[in-house]
Amino acid sequence: MKHFTIILFLFAFVCSSATAQYRNFFTEKSLRIDFVLTGNHLQTQASVFELKQEPYWGGSTVNTIDAFEYGEFRVLVKDSTQQNIIFSRGFCTLFEEWQTTDEAQLMDKSFFQTAVCPFPKSTVHVSIEKRNKAGKFISLLNTEVNPNSYSILKTNTNKVTTHKLIDNGSASECVDIVFIGDGYTMDEIDKFHADIKDLSEYLFTQTPFNKYKNRFNIWAVDAISEHSGVTDPRKNSWKNTAVRSSFNTLNSDRYLESTHTYLIRDYAGLVPYDQIYVIANTKKYGGGGIYNHFSLTSVDNPRSKTVFIHEFGHSFAGLGDEYYTSETSYNDFYNLNTEPWQPNLTTMVDFDSKWKPMLDKDIPVPTPASEEYFNAVGVFEGGGYVSKGIFRPAYNCRMKSNEAPGFCPVCQHSIEKMVLFLIGE
């Protein structure tokens, strides 16, 4: 008992020290950096569009430095001396997916993007970095931010109602998910809230989310659309909706996304949040999830719940797609000569850094796709949109198919680590 008490004391001391450090540098608000990514399949440029102060910081006040190094991009915040990193976070974008398409070989294109960090008390240096093909981060954009600058916008989306549907405590000690509806008219707001309830209840039946049900807060932002449903270009159906969701993203019929990132962030910024989930009021199958960007899924399809949880695996825990037979718009998405950062994929270049410790000693590597290994943690070839050269940890998993019973043990472990990081434990 004595040793246990000492451990609890040390943990409390570390958390208290980290929170004190946060308060030395940051306020309880957020700094949003809106920028533009421009380029083609070979080039990437970034430029600041504007800076905004948002009223809440929804993340941890203990874990301000990224512990995972996930993402194709990351934001670094340094103090005024530029010697000390005081905040970092990885993220992904729709832009890097577009860069692997055929269109990117023919033209340049621009995408809106945002990065969010706690609002600084004094001048800081903000960098946006991008991974190169070798997996190393390189500087893309650098800017100095004076928190007292008149150029930092302080306006917010007005006349929008918000609701805290599940309240389990403070934002700094819980995972806060904000749901934003798209394609819900004023008359359909009750349906929007019912859809959130339905999806949230499903989320907390899934392992390991069920274990941490009492550490999540659920928010609703009543974004009102002029039209019911969302845009579907292949059906010549065009809708005026709150965040401009659309099927046929990157010329893939079932890829449901929005390129209006600033609009989504404007709505999300009305509450404290760790994760953004846009739900689209449509029966058509589709969705998308991008790490520390946002998730989006349709709500009225028979498979909406499994798509919902799959896309959340992407955006919340940085999990990669484990399927390799479905049609996508991506070409050569992964470099087979480097280890992917996604925790559930490996090229075997550095398998020691992945789930190797979770393998039983009698599991062959690679693992045959035979029935005796269907329920085992293994190294199954096929994943990341290709059948050769990339390996996944389970024969079937929610990150591979809608028919899987849930997340595999490796994905569960990755999700749990992210939960603990965000709640400051």
Question: Is the residue at 139 inside a domain?
Answer: yes
Cα 109 to Cα 345: distance, rounded to the nearest angstrom: 29
Instruction: Spell out the residues 6+ positions from residue 383 whose beta carbon is closer than 8 angstroms to its own.
Output: 320, 321, 322, 323, 324, 345, 390, 391, 392, 400
Question: Is the residue at 347 inside a domain?
Answer: no
Cα 360 to Cα 346: distance, rounded to the nearest angstrom: 17
Task: List Cα–Cα distances, 46 to 24, 33, 38, in angstroms.
Answer: 30, 12, 6
Q: Classify the C-alpha dihedral 359-69-16-61 as positive or negative.
A: negative
Q: Classify the C-alpha dihedral 294-233-280-303 as positive or negative.
A: negative
Same domain, 173 and 287: yes
Question: Is the residue at 228 inside a domain?
Answer: yes
Taking alpha carbons only, the member of 60, 34, 51, 423 closest to residue 264 is 34
Same domain, 121 and 182: no
Looking at 257, 291, 318, the residue that finishes a domain is: 318
Taking alpha carbons only, the member of 84, 103, 104 closest to residue 42 is 104
Q: Give 150: exposed, middle or buried? Use CB within 10 Å, 0-12, 13-18, 19+.
A: exposed
pLDDT for position 162 = 97
Q: What is the pTM of this model?
A: 0.94
Same domain, 108 and 246: no
Same domain, 121 and 168: no
Residue 383, token pair as written in the block = 């994943």
Cα 261 to Cα 113: distance, rounded to the nearest angstrom: 6
Cα 240 to Cα 245: distance, rounded to the nearest angstrom: 9
pLDDT for position 10 = 42
Same domain, 213 and 256: yes
Residue 178, token pair as written in the block = 């904000």
List per-residue pLDDT tens for the chain, 425 residues long.
445 444 444 444 445 566 778 999 999 999 999 999 999 999 999 999 999 999 999 999 999 999 999 999 999 999 988 889 999 999 999 999 999 999 999 999 999 999 999 999 999 999 999 999 899 999 999 999 999 999 999 977 678 999 999 999 999 999 999 999 999 999 999 999 999 999 999 999 999 999 999 999 999 999 999 999 999 999 999 999 999 999 999 999 999 999 999 999 999 999 999 999 999 999 999 999 999 999 999 999 999 999 999 999 999 999 999 999 866 656 678 999 999 999 999 999 999 999 999 999 999 999 999 999 999 999 999 999 999 999 999 999 999 999 999 999 999 999 999 999 999 98
Same domain, 176 and 121: no
Question: Is the residue at 341 inside a domain?
Answer: no
Same domain, 313 and 170: yes
Range of the domain at 383: 360-420
pLDDT for position 230 = 98
Same domain, 212 and 246: yes
Question: Is the residue at 351 inside a domain?
Answer: no
Residue 52, token pair as written in the block = 């905004």
Instruction: Spell out the residues 6+ positions from residue 118 whose beta carbon is closer than 8 angstroms to its own.
Output: 22, 25, 26, 27, 29, 30, 31, 57, 59, 61, 64, 87
Same domain, 124 and 194: no
Same domain, 129 and 39: yes
pLDDT for position 12 = 45
Question: Is the residue at 354 inside a domain?
Answer: no
Question: Is the residue at 156 inside a domain?
Answer: no
Q: Give 155: exposed, middle or buried? Use CB within 10 Å, 0-12, 13-18, 19+.
A: exposed
Cα 225 to Cα 298: distance, rounded to the nearest angstrom: 15
Cα 406 to Cα 159: distance, rounded to the nearest angstrom: 39
Dump the DSSP string for 82-105.
SSSEEEEEEE--HHHHHTTSSGGG
Looking at 318, 348, 373, the residue that finishes a domain is: 318
Instruction: Please report, for the domain that includes residue 93, its CATH number.
Output: 2.60.40.3250
Query: Which helix (H) or strand (E) covers residue 387, if one does?
Result: strand 386-392
pLDDT for position 9 = 46
Cα 219 to Cα 166: distance, rounded to the nearest angstrom: 7
Dump the DSSP string for 133-193.
TTS-EEEEEEEEE-TT-TTSB-----S--EEEEE--S-GGGSEEEEEEEES--GGGHHHHH
Question: Is the residue at 415 inside a domain?
Answer: yes
Instruction: Please report, for the domain that includes residue 250, its CATH number.
Output: 3.40.390.10
Same domain, 248 and 125: no
pLDDT for position 95 = 98
Same domain, 253 and 283: yes
pLDDT for position 4 = 44
Taking alpha carbons only, the member of 118, 86, 114 closest to residue 21 is 86
Q: How many domains does the chain have?
A: 3
Looking at 288, 318, 348, the residue that finishes a domain is: 318
